[in-house]
Structure 1
Amino acid sequence: MEMYTKEKSLLDTHVQAHVGKKTLHTCKTCGSSFSNKSNLTRHKRTHSQDKPHACALCSARFVEMYALTVHMRSHTGNMPHACDICEATFAVKSSLQQHLRTHTGERPHMCNICGTSCFTSSALKVHQRQHSGEKPYSCGVCFARFANNSNLKTHARTHTGQKPYSCKVCGTSFLQKSTLNVHARIHSGERPFVCKVCAFAFSQCAALEKHVRIHTGEKPYSCGVCAAAFVTSTHLKRHTQSHRKDKIV
């Protein structure tokens, strides 16, 4: 009877894949849903301290052995997946596929509340927490809360002082790999982000976005005192100081 019940459960799960009928198992912490209970159980470990796979070189721990294998590449420097456009390298193929969208501009995942488009479905989930105010990840030291686990991990390093990503040229260390990648372009001179209007190139995507406003005339940063508007927040801060000086005089 027990064997029959187990086989029927497997059959039901298989049939659901064909007919599209899904019994969703929902995480009570963050609201993520899964088609089977085992995936939910695995997911729950991301919220708990149950991370049985430990890195032998640093204090990082992981829910899955595969995640540990990928993490080890941050120590060995083994990044087998390379971008054909800017030669950026990645530990896993899915990261490369997501990165390619920074070149193509493709943002297939759209927020149904404000229309913002995101490169990945996970980025969309994090974005939507701006609307809900949900911050399910909490720091165990200062109790600061975050919308996603990666921000919590980065924040935790401000307490430990850990900077695991080091430049191979000058030895400067960074909290985040993305910051190291940007820094490395100082040495390589690489400028992969190119303006489609004037062909001016930049080392950072954010710098290109600011530059494009010169062509579009967009000035998203407005002064709260007068009607002046600016292309960058830096220009707005500089302008705001002029009002403070006027008050002092």
Structure 2
Amino acid sequence: MNVTHNRMQICNNCGKRFLLESELLLHQQTDCEKSIQCVTCGKAFKKLWSLHEHNKIVHGYAEKKFSCEICEKKFYTMAHVRKHMVAHTKDMPFTCETCGKSFKRSMSLKVHSLQHSGEKPFKCENCSERFQYKYQLRSHMSIHIGHKQFMCQWCGKDFNMKQYFDEHMKTHTGEKPYICEICGKSFTSRPNMKRHRRTHTGEKPYPCEVCGQRFRFSNMLKAHREKCFRVSNPMVTDVSDPLGLNQPLASPAVDSSGQVPLGTPCTMHLL
């Protein structure tokens, strides 16, 4: 029993023991309760590979072996080079020195750079908690003042729900986390990605209730509906009332005696 105990692999983070080293490594990379800290800056990570990547990029524990063919700028990985190349193909002149990601505006680059530095320059005056971004501080302040509104620090637009606020912020930072699995194009929001994906799948979820023709996008259906309703209902001027139910009835013809002649057709038919 003592021999077996001495051969046990012990996790330095949480103290759990394993028979095999492979089990210990898997544990440290997946479900270790305590995070792994960087010995240089103290930043914590849940996975070992994240710590290794952090050391390479932030602390420079690796050489920049990959270079841009156009400007010869060097990067840690080829993936960073590909991100940087966007600056040469599009109007995105501001490039992150750490990961090579490019931006259209210098302010967007400044906001992005905080992700690498870990700097938290915005401090709450009430509880001293610090934040990387000003919008995070403003959202946090709602705890103290009871105000739940989310306001964009860049353009002043405000939101009642954090979900919509987060989606809006991506338009400023340039972040596009939603990727089409078919062509690789990226988008700032999931709905935009789903709409794009229909161009590949041919899905047409919007049917015309008059002729049955289907469309990929709601705006295409709206444009078609106006034309379709006017053709099938020339007397209807209100597109929102395609059946003409709210249209005034025409007065029937009256003869010289003031009576409605027999056989006069009804001015409205039930469909």
Question: Relative to total residues, which structure has the larger helix share, 1 or 2?
Answer: 1
Give the TM-score normalised by the residue count of structure 1.
0.34
Q: RCO greater where, 1 or 2, for CA within 8 Å and sep 6 or more?
A: 1
Give the TM-score normalised by the residue count of structure 2.
0.31
